Amino acid sequence: MKVQLRAALPVLAVLLVGGLFAWLFWSGSPTTAVAGSQANVGPYVVRLSTDSVQRGVVELTFDITDGSNKPVEPEKVSVEPTMTQMGHALIPVRATPSAPGTYRAQVDFNMSGQWDITVRITSGDEMHEAVLSVTVVN
């Protein structure tokens, strides 16, 4: 009994230290949610709910409000995804409203990395573009 307890000491020590290490070290992991991204353009404030998505077909959800946080409903909202570092762009996608001020668009992120999402808001004769940043992970 005593020998078994003595042999278990280093194991206990490693478990204790390992537990503390995991708690302190991994609290800064990259999958921690960052509060989305936001861009102000003209009279609009465009907010994307998340800035990190999985590779493949993704439904992006974003909110468009005015300066005082009231939802707005412009005539046409479309999404133009571009991967600037690789120098290629995807076909623009029309965003559909799911709730006042909330829009959804399906985008096929075919490559992981940093993507720029240009939200083009058209209302009458006016057109505004807001650029948001999204990281696509494997």
Partner 1 sequence: MWRVAAVVVFLTSLLTMGAGVSWADGGHVGADLHVAQTLGERELTVVIRRTGPRLGPLLVEVVTHAPTTGTLRLSASSPSATTSTGMVELGAVPGVHRVVLAVDKVGPWELAITDGATTARIPFVVPAQVVPPWQRASDFGFGAAGVLAGVALVLALRARRSWMPWVPMMGAVVALSVGMTGAALSAQFPPPPQAGRDVDPSIRAITDPYGQARLNAQAAVGLTRAPLILDLSGAVVAGQPSTVRLNFLDSATGRPADDLVVHHGALVHLMIVSPVGELMHLHPVRVGPGRYEVTVRSSATGVHALAVEAGRRGGGTQQMRASITVQPGAAATRSAPVAPVSDTASGASGEVSVDVAAAGVPSTIRGRFGDDPTLQPWLGMIGHLIVVGPMPPSGDERGEAAAAAPIWSHGHAMPPAAPGAVGGQPDESVATFGPQVDFVYTFPRPGRYLVWVQAERDFTVLTASTEVEVTAS
Residues of this chain that interact with partner 1 (CB under 8 A) are 5-6, 9-10, 12-14, 16-17, 20-21, 24-25, 28-32, 34-35, 37-40, 45, 51-52, 82, 84-89, 111-114, 116, 118, 129, 131, 133, 135-138
C-beta closer to partner 1: residue 99 or 111? 111
C-beta closer to partner 1: residue 12 or 96? 12
C-beta closer to partner 1: residue 34 or 99? 34
State the nearest-atom distance from the C-beta of 46 to partner 1, in Å.
Answer: 9
Other CB atoms closer than 10 Å to residue 104's CB: what's the count? 15
